[in-house]
Amino acid sequence: MSKLTPAQEDAADRAERLMSMSKAAALMGRDRNTLAAWAAKGMPIARKGESGSSHLVDLKEVILWREEQVRREERTRFPGAGEDGLGEGMGGRMSPSDLLKLENLKLTRLKVGQAAEILVERSIPEMAEERAYGILRQAIMALPERLTREMAGFPEEKKLIWRQKAQGWCREALKQSAKVIADAMGTVPTRPDDAV
């Protein structure tokens, strides 16, 4: 057995990656016309086809080229603001005073939203509590299924009855806990102005 050099291995790998534009389009989930438009924009083509034969592309090179195009488009879509008001690629970076103005603008928008009662400030503990209740709800509602799996070997009718009873108990427990939480939260002020 002869060992291939790294250059030979790369050439062999590249030969396996060469495919028609139609096949590459199908693998990428794109339309063939999209790849033809990309080729007009400079997409790398490994071997140009003669009349009647297809162009061959290296899928790896096409994907790398497309990722670079997307990055370039995103950079032009969201330029940074510099002292001259131009984007970072056009001559400037955001100065500390511009960053301060941007943060003040964000804070002003937040205050206006809260004053108009469009935005309600939520604390991190409230969000964590909501997530915990969601996980608890999922765990409780999974109990009947787990019970059914543990009852392997019992008649199906009996397992179905037990499952339905367990689901009813879980639903009732969730309803009662939701009522207790709603009653407790009804006494908590939602805005700082409501607090006594």
pLDDT digits (tens, 9 = 90+) for 120-172: 666 777 777 787 788 888 888 888 888 878 787 888 898 889 888 888 888 88
**At 57, is the secondary structure helix, strand, or coil?**
strand
- Own/partner contacts of 87-90, CB < 8 Å, gap of 24 or more, are none
CA dihedral 141, 145, 151, 155 (to 10 degrees): 120
Residue 5 within a domain? no
CB of 56 within 8 A of CB of 45?
yes
Residues 137 and 180 in one domain: yes
Q: What are phi and psi of 189, to 5 degrees?
A: -65, 140
Which residue has better confidence, 193 or 51?
51
Range of the structural domain that residue 182 is part of: 124-187
pLDDT of amino acid 84: 46
pLDDT of amino acid 82: 45
Residues 176 and 139 in one domain: yes
Residues 114 and 140 in one domain: no
Domain at 33, CATH number: 1.10.10.10
Kindly indicate the confidence band of residue 12, based on its pLDDT and cuts at 50, 70 and 90. low
pLDDT of amino acid 194: 55
CA–CA separation, 44 and 142 (whole Å): 52
Residue 179 within a domain? yes
Residues 84 and 72 in one domain: no
Please give the distance of CA 32 from its chain centroid, rounded to a whole number. Answer: 27
pLDDT digits (tens, 9 = 90+) for 43-77: 888 878 776 667 888 888 888 898 898 888 887 77
pLDDT of amino acid 141: 82
Residue 4 within a domain? no
pLDDT of amino acid 158: 87
Residue 2 within a domain? no
Q: How many domains does the chain have?
A: 3
pLDDT digits (tens, 9 = 90+) for 76-96: 776 554 444 444 444 457 788
Residues 133 and 181 in one domain: yes
pLDDT of amino acid 79: 57
DSSP state of 58: E
Q: Which of 87, 95, 30 is nearest to 59 (CA)?
A: 30
Domain boundary among 90, 121, 152: 121
Residues 139 and 117 in one domain: no
Which residue has better confidence, 170 or 11?
170
